[in-house]
């Protein structure tokens, strides 16, 4: 049975931007993700954590930072993003995954982009740490995202923003490539933008050899294998119309 619990911690006034963070067992990253949100250059935003009934300290951390928390025993990024959207007050929605820390000017840059007439956007992604392998990975990643944006699309999302009405009319669907599914449905509504003056910092690739601390903790999966899978196989299949569902 699908159960939802809502925790209202603070009642913010004059909210322009609603920041929604879908979480599940995110204690490794969440403190850094949420603390970055507290250091933004503008303040008229709210923080909504949409949790999938975490079994670690995720909710304990969230309560120190969030304005609202919604907990659901039905898990999945699409479900949880939709749950957060139901509570949002802002006319601009910013989605941030639990393993991303935003630059201090990210929200302000997103607001400026929407005010310029863009309907949806994202910024470049940078790695945490000084690994030359990871820096190379994200140089390539950002190059392709910038290229995709010129065709009014993106390769995927871990941090992105858009108009509230856009998301309200096009709810997320729980598919493996939920982000590509969303992009296909909304691109006809207006122009998208790739921001280079701000960034989201990826927290999950932390090892110097390019292995992922969560997904590949016990496996020797190289940076190059990740790159090949991401861009040459799964991404290509999704763009040619193949459907992947849970």
Note the pTM of the prediction, 2 decimals: 0.85
Which residues, in sequence order, are bridge partners of residue 163?
92
Alpha helix locations (H) across the chain? 30-37, 58-65, 77-87, 106-115, 132-149, 164-169, 178-186, 223-228, 235-239
Q: What is the mean pLDDT of each run of 10 residues along the chain (246 residues)?
A: 90 94 94 96 96 95 97 90 95 96 98 97 92 86 90 90 93 82 90 97 64 43 50 48 43
Q: Give me the helix-helix angle, 30-37 and 58-65, nearest 10°.
A: 10
pLDDT score of 36: 96
Question: Residue 82: its pLDDT value, please?
Answer: 94
Residue 18's pLDDT is 98
Whether the CB-CB separation of 127 and 203 falls below 8 Å is answered with no
At residue 44, the pLDDT reads 95
| Cα 206–Cα 65–Cα 158 angle in degrees, nearest 5 | 45
> What burial class does residue 115 get, using C-beta atoms within 10 Å of its C-beta: 0-12 exposed, 13-18 middle, 19+ buried?
exposed
pLDDT at 129: 82
DSSP calls for 160-214: EEEEHHHHHHS----BTTHHHHHHHHHGGGS-EEEEEEEEEEE-SB-STTS-BTT
């Amino acid at each position: 049975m699908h159960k939802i619990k809502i925790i209202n911690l603070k009642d913010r006034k004059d909210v322009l931007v609603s920041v929604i963070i879908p979480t599940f067992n995110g204690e490794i990253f969440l403190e850094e993700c949420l603390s970055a949100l507290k250091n933004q250059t503008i303040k008229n935003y709210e923080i909504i954590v949409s949790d999938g009934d975490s079994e670690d300290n995720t909710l304990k951390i969230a309560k120190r930072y969030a304005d609202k928390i919604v907990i659901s025993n039905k898990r999945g990024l699409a479900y949880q993003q939709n749950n957060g959207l139901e509570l949002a007050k802002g006319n601009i929605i910013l989605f941030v995954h639990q393993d991303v820390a935003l630059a201090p000017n990210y929200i302000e840059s997103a607001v400026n982009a929407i005010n310029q007439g863009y309907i949806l956007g994202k910024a470049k992604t940078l790695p945490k740490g000084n690994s030359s392998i990871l820096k190379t990975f994200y140089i390539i990643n950002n190059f392709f995202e910038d290229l995709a944006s010129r065709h009014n699309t993106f390769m995927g999302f871990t941090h992105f923003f858009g108009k509230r009405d856009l998301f309200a009319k096009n709810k997320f669907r729980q598919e493996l490539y939920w982000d590509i599914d969303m992009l296909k449905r909304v691109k006809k509504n207006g122009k998208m933008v790739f921001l280079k003056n701000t960034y989201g910092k990826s927290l999950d690739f932390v090892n110097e050899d390019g292995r992922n601390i969560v997904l590949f903790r016990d496996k020797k999966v190289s940076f190059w294998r990740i790159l090949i899978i991401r861009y040459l196989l799964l991404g290509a299949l999704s763009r040619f119309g193949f459907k992947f569902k849970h």
